[in-house]
């Protein structure tokens, strides 16, 4: 499984409708509207690197209103939930909560 984080700059007029459109793209696991330099962040989860390229170039970049994308492929995932579970081993249940 390959995860990619795509930062998306959008035309202002497209922002109200673009979130739903992003969420509907096959391969997009989650889409967030955000503050800052970019307007949206899309998390892509697909089987291989070629699929990342396909989602970004054939689907995301074709959506009306997207001005620019910047794609970052994840090497390794760190989950706070997983770390907390790992360090709670051996603790009484009331201390794990």
- Report the C-alpha dihedral over residues 36, 42, 43, 45, rounded to 10 degrees: -160
Distance between CA atoms of residues 88 and 68, nearest Å: 43
| List of domains in the chain | 2-96 (3.30.70.920)
Q: What digits encode the pLDDT tens for the residues 64-77?
A: 999 999 999 999 87
Percent of the chain whose pLDDT exceeds 70: 81
Write the CB contacts of 74 (distance below 8 Å, at least 6 apart in sequence). 2, 3, 4, 5
Q: What digits encode the pLDDT tens for the residues 10-24?
A: 999 999 999 999 999
């Amino acid at each position: 499984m390959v995860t990619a984080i795509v930062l998306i700059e959008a035309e202002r007029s497209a922002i109200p409708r673009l979130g739903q459109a992003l969420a509907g793209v096959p391969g997009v696991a989650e889409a967030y509207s955000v503050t800052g330099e970019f307007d949206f962040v899309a998390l892509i989860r697909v089987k291989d690197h070629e699929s990342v390229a396909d989602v970004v170039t054939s689907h995301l970049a074709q959506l009306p209103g997207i001005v620019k994308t910047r794609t970052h492929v994840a090497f390794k995932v760190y989950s706070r939930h997983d770390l907390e579970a790992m360090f709670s081993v051996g603790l009484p249940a009331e201390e794990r909560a």
